[in-house]
Structure 1
Amino acid sequence: MKIRAMVTITGLVQGVAYRQTTQQTAQRLNVCGWVKNLPDGSVQGCFEGEESDVDALIGWCHEGPSRAQVTGVQVKKEPFSGQYETFNISY
């Protein structure tokens, strides 16, 4: 089953290559969507794909890249939209 998840990651997640490594991990897992920095220092993502692949990416978000210090991951699952064909970094 395909799903969408809106994810917000908090902690030391900006300036540590979090978006780039999220994009690489999403592409490896065949997950589409986007990731971006938010003004409050958190990172937000929209992940779409097979539920098991999206869940694997969410699991990865709890750790992130080696320099990140993740303190929280909020997830809101939504119906799949199919509007994304790739995974991009949004600015």
Structure 2
Amino acid sequence: MTHPATGEGIYQGMRSGMFAAEAIHDVLAGRAREREALERYARRCAATFLPSFWAGGLARGMLRTPFLDMMVQAGSMPRLRDATARMLAHL
């Protein structure tokens, strides 16, 4: 399990391992059946990692398009720069 934008995976591996250990513990302690524990594990992984993975995938996808170049060019336009500064001043 690696992050699509950074290529790192130590956090995801450690955290998903902790989720797996908790699921196994619940089964061995008789608090959950295997299927229930596996479903809970999958839900926890999805809730923990998917938002970041989607955002990372989107950021990585933008690198393959001219989007960032357009943003840099737009930032050098005086009118747009002034309008952005005024807008940010009101936040």
**Band of TM-score, shorter chain:** 0.3 to 0.5
Structure with the greater alpha carbon radius of gyration? 2
**More relative contact order, 1 or 2 (CA 8 Å, 6+ apart):** 1
| TM-score normalised according to structure 2 size | 0.36
Larger strand share, 1 or 2: 1
| TM-score normalised according to structure 1 size | 0.36
Larger helix share, 1 or 2: 2
